[in-house]
Amino acid sequence: GNSVTQMEGPVTLSEEAFLTINCTYTATGYPSLFWYVQYPGEGLQLLLKATKADDKGSNKGFEATYRKETTSFHLEKGSVQVSDSAVYFCALSTHQLIWGAGTKLIIKP
């Protein structure tokens, strides 16, 4: 069946560090891929998406590239800020949305 695997958290970084959160997936067909972010006490917000192989989604300095050959959609940011502290969810969409377990990111000043 379809599934999403994310790196376990929490991930703790210092401000201005480079961020990678790994996400790999298993799916039949050609899913769309999403990254959602959840700030403390809030609902989920779409951070970025990609709908076909080699697409790059980007938003707020975050990027992720849809790699079909490695079935991956890793989230990256060149220089993180304290305000990026949140839980990040990778998800794939075929008929329904399949969620990864989430990765908590903690950025220290």
Partner 1 sequence: DAMVIQNPRYQVTQFGKPVTLSCSQTLNHNVMYWYQQKSSQAPKLLFHYYDKDFNNEADTPDNFQSRRPNTSFCFLDIRSPGLGDTAMYLCATSRDMGGEFNEQFFGPGTRLTVL
Using CB under 8 A, list all residues that contact partner 1: 30-32, 34, 38, 41-46, 49, 51, 87, 89, 93-97, 99-102, 104
Nearest to 34 by CA among 42, 44, 43: 44
53 or 78: CB nearest partner 1: 53
Q: How far is the CB of 9 from partner 1 (least distance, A)?
A: 9
Q: Which is nearer to partner 1, 46 or 78 (CB)?
A: 46
